[in-house]
Structure 1
Amino acid sequence: MTVQDLAEAIEVNPKTVERWITQGKVPYRRHQYATASVLKVEVTTLWEDSRMVDSATDLSKAEIVTVYPHRHMVPTGLWREIYGRATSHIDVLVYSGLWLSEDPLFHDLLKTKTQGNAQVRILLGDPDCAAVKQRGIDEGHQIMDGKIRNALMNYRPLFQSHPDIGFRLHDATLYNSLFRADDEMLVNTHVYGIGAYMAPVLHLRRLPGGGLFDTYANSIEQTWGGARQVTEHDLTGA
Structure 2
Amino acid sequence: MTNDRLRDALLRQGLTPDTAAEAIRVDAKTIERWITKDRTPYPKHRHALAALLRESESFLWPDALGPERAAEVATSEVVAVYPHRHEMPREVWSRLIDSAANQLDILVYAGLFLTENHKLIKTLRAKAQAGTKIRFLFGDPDSLNVTSRSKEEKIGPEAIAAKIRNAIFFFQSLSDEPGVELRLHETTLYNSIYRFDSEMLVNTHVYGLMAAHSPVLHLRQLAGGDLFDTYADSFNSVWGDSKPLPSELLTRRN
| TM-score (structure 1 length as normaliser) | 0.75
User: Is this contact kept in 1: 2:131–2:179, CA < 8 A?
Assistant: no
Determine which of 210, 229, 241 is the counterpart of 1:214: 229
Mapped pair 1:60 → 2:70: no
Q: Runs of 5+ in structure 1 lacking a partner?
A: 1-35, 42-52
Deviation at 1:224, TM superposition (A): 0.7
Helix, strand or coil for the counterpart of 2:135?
A: strand
Cα distance in 2 for partners of 1:92, 1:144 equals 17
Write the mapping of 1:60-99 to structure 2, written as runs, cut at 5 A: 60-99=74-113
Deviation at 1:58, TM superposition (A): 0.2
Q: Match of 1:235?
A: 250
Cα distance in 2 for partners of 1:83, 1:54 equals 33
Mapped pair 1:105 → 2:119: yes
Paired AA for residue 91 in structure 2: G
Cα distance in 1 for partners of 2:247, 2:114 equals 21
Cα distance in 2 for partners of 1:111, 1:201 equals 26
Deviation at 1:223, TM superposition (A): 0.5
Cα distance in 2 for partners of 1:188, 1:95 equals 12
Mapped pair 1:155 → 2:183: no
Q: Match of 2:185?
A: 170
Q: Runs of 5+ in structure 2 lacking a partner?
A: 1-46, 53-66
Q: Residues 233 and 73 of structure 1: is their aligned pair in 2 closer, same or farther, counting only changes over 3 Å? A: same
| TM-score (structure 2 length as normaliser) | 0.70
Cα distance in 2 for partners of 1:137, 1:58 equals 39
- CA RMSD, aligned part only? 2.0
Deviation at 1:163, TM superposition (A): 4.1
Write the mapping of 1:19-58 to structure 2, written as runs, cut at 5 A: 55-58=69-72
Q: Match of 2:32?
A: none
Deviation at 1:54, TM superposition (A): 6.9
Q: Match of 1:26?
A: none
Cα distance in 1 for partners of 2:239, 2:121 equals 21
Deviation at 1:84, TM superposition (A): 1.2
Paired AA for residue 69 in structure 2: S
Helix, strand or coil for the counterpart of 2:212?
A: helix
Cα distance in 1 for partners of 2:236, 2:192 equals 13
Over residues 99-156 of structure 1, what are the superposed CA-to-partner deviations in whole Å (9 max), with x where a residue is unaligned? 1134222212211111121110010000000110111011112211000001111112
Q: Percent identity?
A: 43
Q: How many residues align?
A: 188
User: Is this contact kept in 2: 1:102–1:151, CA < 8 A?
Assistant: no
Over residues 32-79 of structure 1, what are the superposed CA-to-partner deviations in whole Å (9 max), with x where a residue is unaligned? xxxx89xx69xxxxxxxxxxx971000000000010000011111211
User: Is this contact kept in 2: 1:102–1:154, CA < 8 A?
Assistant: no
Cα distance in 2 for partners of 1:79, 1:216 equals 18
